[in-house]
Structure 1
């Protein structure tokens, strides 16, 4: 709060006069005060660029606090004043040789932020010196600066051999320096079309050894880099996974999830089933622990867990109770837990799950109740032995006469009828008692489908359909399509009862509606009925494909890619990074002699082995996003 007084609009002339005052200021107190005012005004959006030359003159003051404020000012205005920024090059170079390591690091880092050609050119020599500086803080700052410089001038970084310098830093004695070098190399690899990071077993082992002495974020960087290691021999993946496993007990959720990601990745290269099973058991406790964190961390964990259990269902298979919803869980956490409960449900725990779902269906939150009712239907479709109990639970819910519960129950009962034809038709009478409560398109369409499908068993099916047809032209397309097909089914099964209705519906569908799908379907039905009633019967009453919950499973290729992005936004959105971040490289499982999953894709690579580049065909390189053409890429093989 003591600095709040500086956040007042100041006049350029007054600030310049104070900054250039000749009064004695041994401790530079007045300079600090004026610079704080300038930075505060800059933060508020006031234009302080006219003071550029005056602020640059303050770079010669050997006080760290003043230099920080001057550098912050330079970073902010260097784009609008590139010529003035170039005049500060000499001061930057001088600071890069200062006796104070904090000033040396600050100078190099600030130059990396200023995207002015003269500053970038002048940065190379100080940066090269900083990469081998005696102080680890300077070295780790310089490593990060190489990545920043790469974003501005890729060719300069490659021609000056700075990437090789980063590679050499992976053997640094300081783990923080190693972590920053790894982070920089990973960033460069992700942003370059020609360079791909590729670790060998030796480097991977050294990185794992550095984990114990790194900060939590350093551990995350190193674990992330291990995703670029491709096991080539039996036992390599198992050994590396065992060494990473202690990170699963870390207090930081980012470290835990990144460790989970690396282990899930390494499982693709494990050859022994018992090793994979044992590793899956080790993954369960840390994931359960994450669910005792705050709701935001819980949600991130749940979205990642949903991906993991689709590939490795044995993870968390015995931990169903941790996914039971608490009364104070936010709705987004509750919905995520419901999804996981349905996927983990099996014949041994289904009674517990069904009991919980019935309780959730009586809650107040409408969205949560709908999801719970739909989940009961999914259980019935997924586990045949529990279908009877699920139907009984749905009937109980329908009898509550709560509008949205009744409608959701009818929607899922339609799926159950499709899954188990001719088994539960006895409840149709109960469903028909609730027709007046239907006002949602999906529920209406489901009920109409049931009436049409069992038109030969429902005595007053023609009356029920006629009631729905009263507002045919005003209904949504989904309901209109259901009505059209149900009426045709009624006519085929009971021609006398459906004669009048079918003529009326076909006339509306072909002459008075604008939707092309509905109109085309109407014409097809009309012509079928007019030319060949037997053919119409085969088409309309053909055997439906069996419904199953497998249709809700994610595409295997998409799942494989998302599992390589666990602990990132991609795993939360369940979308590949390319859909929301441009120019992102596609990740694929890289082929190797021990890969137990088939992966395609070949390209040409440059491997740097013992400092000598050699071009070789490399089937281990990534394919491009579209897979339409192969590109020539450089593999940065870190082989020390």
Structure 2
């Protein structure tokens, strides 16, 4: 809101503007006008000088004209009647011999934004479209776009639209781009400018003549056009190819976006285009502009979702610089997590370890979380670094490490022993709520392995009256009840005191209701409480799979070169910091598009490669209904799976019967599975207690998936370990008289010890899952 400048200053300016001596001196007159503009820019109310400024625009001084027009455009809406006096001067200037004056007059006339002046503006704008000077045509084209906002589009003369379409072939490239923008604005209710084949090829041929932003505008508009034949498509791609490696990142991004739009049905061409932009993208990631670097890193993350190995050999380009801002460092670390492999994991972990002691707490916590993500595939090296960080006794580092360890044991249960041994004494350093909640969760779930767990909880229970965090109180309740189930003698008195306080004295209803729930649950009996609170300790299905499946380009192509790409974040990293991992697992699985039931496959869908059905007359068809159950415990690490699996190629295979192991092969015929998302595959297998450890990328043939489970009879104590490899070839076979196309999935199994009936149950359950996944519901 403008402030009321000094009245004397405004009066002095009025006297100066009206002084004939000042008007006779062009320099003094211009300086006086400049003083008015300076006061206006400082917020002073100089609207009372409108009449004097209207007179000041009648000059041959271009600089003074521009200053006066700035004033008139700012105050025209406050003085609509006096603005009519300006129009005549502006219309006169539109016929000035100087093209700069003509363009300035047209621009100022349209910037008045007064509906009452539209009829006076149309004729100069129409003449401006045919002006011999390119700068005037540029302004006139944009002037019609401004005019369309002052009157309904229906009132706009169709001849003007046709004139704008004809100007798409103007020799000046800026006029062409301005025409595109103007037509987009004028025809927005009709879907924007219409792009046909002649216009498309003309714009592509003129593309190199446009500036950077003009090229981006042309490429954006061309996404509406669809080639009518393959030959035309490849002709367009050939014209776009030079822009794909443009040194200007905006042009490169706009070209790639158009490439992906045109080649949505040609994945091989899309992948080749991604390979082509690798160099320009890397250059953009090293730009001197922070904003450009951040945008480039966000787009790199999109590309890595479909081509994980695209930048694998250039991982050092994503190492963080000391002076870089925290938001760029965090994004670079997210990219480094995507680029990790067997060859560079050691160097990447060492680099991330250095970031853990960064002066920025956010950067340090992001680095620790990145090490935790890498630990899902390389647990030993990551845990060694995380354990070493605990010795630093830094509050924010300890908190981030404990949260990362909590998330790590949830997806990698084989790390629990190392994590438990590292937790001793870290409660003294933890001060923030998130870190204490993570520690309490670990104490509740793995408290029987920690000798000091009850005494650590006792410290929390004794201080519960002064505890301000509701999340800590609720996590403390759960941890105390869980630990009571495994160490009742040590926890009985403490749990009683905690429940009494939360039920009788706690004012927060959430904490009180949770305490009442546990109190009543304990009255139902210990076994009933165990069923509720001592469920699964981990969920390996949420881990990052080795050989993670690449996403189709179509899933993110629409977000490329838009603001959506900048909003993408590491979803797993964000969700892992929100309380207990059980809540994260529940939400992730609820979001998966899975069938409500897993229907068993028909009997003829199973074909044994080693044992025929006649050899096992008692083998159940439905594994769920039998007395044999599947279980994920004990967990098998990727290293242990590989060791057991490779025994197939050693002398163990020759003496398999002596060692109590058996190899067999089964074949399941079902539609193509490689289109199934990795999350859906993991979750579907998890529902029937089959763990997915690894699989190859979808474009790799043959496509393989590695699984394991434990089979156990209802009344038996021993279990049978079943290792499985699913392999699917590209070739399809005819199924049935209707000619339905199908795929054969070859299942290679290793079982130890031998249990033929349990093996048939596993194959039956596995076949049910495969047919549910391939039924089209996912």
Is this a same-fold pair by TM over 0.5?
A: yes
1:161 Cα deviation (Å)? Answer: 5.0
**Could you tell me which residue of structure 2 aligns to residue 170 of structure 1?**
168
Match of 1:501 among 494, 518, 524: 494
Matches within 5 A, 1:26-175: 28-155=26-153, 158-159=156-157, 161-175=159-173
Mapped contact 1:418–1:547 kept (Cα < 8 A): no
Decide whether aligned partners of structure 1 residues 329 and 141 sit closer, same or farther in structure 2, where only a CA change above 3 A counts: same
The separation in 2 between residues aligned to 1:153 and 1:144, in whole angstroms, is 15
Mapped contact 2:216–2:254 kept (Cα < 8 A): yes
The separation in 1 between residues aligned to 2:7 and 2:52, in whole angstroms, is 18
The separation in 1 between residues aligned to 2:311 and 2:155, in whole angstroms, is 46
Q: Which piece of structure 1 moves more, 274-283 or 509-518?
A: 509-518
Match of 2:508 among 497, 511, 515: 515
Match of 1:463 among 455, 458, 483: 455
**Could you tell me which residue of structure 2 aligns to residue 540 of structure 1?**
533
Decide whether aligned partners of structure 1 residues 436 and 357 sit closer, same or farther in structure 2, where only a CA change above 3 A counts: same
**Could you tell me which residue of structure 2 aligns to residue 208 of structure 1?**
204
Match of 1:368 among 352, 355, 363: 363
Mapped contact 2:153–2:186 kept (Cα < 8 A): no
1:281 Cα deviation (Å)? Answer: 0.9
Matches within 5 A, 1:463-502: 463-475=455-467, 476-502=469-495
Mapped contact 1:9–1:46 kept (Cα < 8 A): no
The separation in 2 between residues aligned to 1:154 and 1:223, in whole angstroms, is 29
Mapped contact 1:9–1:41 kept (Cα < 8 A): no
The separation in 1 between residues aligned to 2:517 and 2:524, in whole angstroms, is 11
The separation in 1 between residues aligned to 2:541 and 2:474, in whole angstroms, is 20
Deviations 1:316-336 (A, max 9, x none): 344211111122222222122
**Could you tell me which residue of structure 2 aligns to residue 429 of structure 1?**
421
Matches within 5 A, 1:78-477: 78-155=76-153, 158-159=156-157, 161-188=159-186, 192-230=188-226, 233-234=229-230, 239-266=235-262, 269-294=263-288, 295-310=290-305, 313=308, 315-381=310-376, 383=377, 386-475=378-467, 476-477=469-470
Mapped contact 1:456–1:494 kept (Cα < 8 A): yes
Deviations 1:66-125 (A, max 9, x none): 322221121011011111112222222222233332222222211211121222232122
The separation in 2 between residues aligned to 1:138 and 1:420, in whole angstroms, is 68
SS of the counterpart of 2:406? helix
The separation in 2 between residues aligned to 1:529 and 1:470, in whole angstroms, is 22
Mapped contact 2:129–2:141 kept (Cα < 8 A): yes
Deviations 1:412-463 (A, max 9, x none): 1111111122444144133113221121211211111111112232334322
Larger radius of gyration: 2
Mapped contact 1:377–1:413 kept (Cα < 8 A): yes
State TM-score, norm by structure 1.
Answer: 0.79
1:195 Cα deviation (Å)? Answer: 3.5
Deviations 1:15-51 (A, max 9, x none): 4444444459788444333322332332233333233
Number of equivalent positions: 558
The separation in 2 between residues aligned to 1:509 and 1:238, in whole angstroms, is 71
1:376 Cα deviation (Å)? Answer: 0.5
**Could you tell me which residue of structure 2 aligns to residue 638 of structure 1?**
none
Structure 1 gap segments, 5+ residues each: 1-6, 576-596, 598-640
Match of 2:520 among 512, 515, 527: 527
Mapped contact 1:8–1:41 kept (Cα < 8 A): no
The separation in 2 between residues aligned to 1:513 and 1:235, in whole angstroms, is 75
Q: Which piece of structure 1 moves more, 335-344 or 25-34?
A: 25-34
**Could you tell me which residue of structure 2 aligns to residue 581 of structure 1?**
none
1:516 Cα deviation (Å)? Answer: 3.5
SS of the counterpart of 1:404? helix
Decide whether aligned partners of structure 1 residues 37 and 495 sit closer, same or farther in structure 2, where only a CA change above 3 A counts: closer
Structure 2 gap segments, 5+ residues each: 570-674, 676-778
Mapped contact 2:107–2:139 kept (Cα < 8 A): yes
The separation in 2 between residues aligned to 1:561 and 1:145, in whole angstroms, is 39
1:280 Cα deviation (Å)? Answer: 0.7
SS of the counterpart of 2:113? coil
State TM-score, norm by structure 2.
Answer: 0.66
Decide whether aligned partners of structure 1 residues 135 and 315 sit closer, same or farther in structure 2, where only a CA change above 3 A counts: farther
Higher RCO, 1 vs 2 (CA within 8 Å, ≥6 residues apart): 1
Decide whether aligned partners of structure 1 residues 550 and 560 sit closer, same or farther in structure 2, where only a CA change above 3 A counts: farther
Mapped contact 1:562–1:574 kept (Cα < 8 A): no
The separation in 2 between residues aligned to 1:40 and 1:296, in whole angstroms, is 32
Deviations 1:166-189 (A, max 9, x none): 333222222111111122234456
The separation in 1 between residues aligned to 2:166 and 2:509, in whole angstroms, is 65
SS of the counterpart of 1:173? coil
Mapped contact 2:115–2:150 kept (Cα < 8 A): no
SS of the counterpart of 1:87? helix
1:279 Cα deviation (Å)? Answer: 0.6
Mapped contact 1:510–1:522 kept (Cα < 8 A): yes
The separation in 2 between residues aligned to 1:518 and 1:198, in whole angstroms, is 62
**Could you tell me which residue of structure 2 aligns to residue 630 of structure 1?**
none
1:242 Cα deviation (Å)? Answer: 4.4
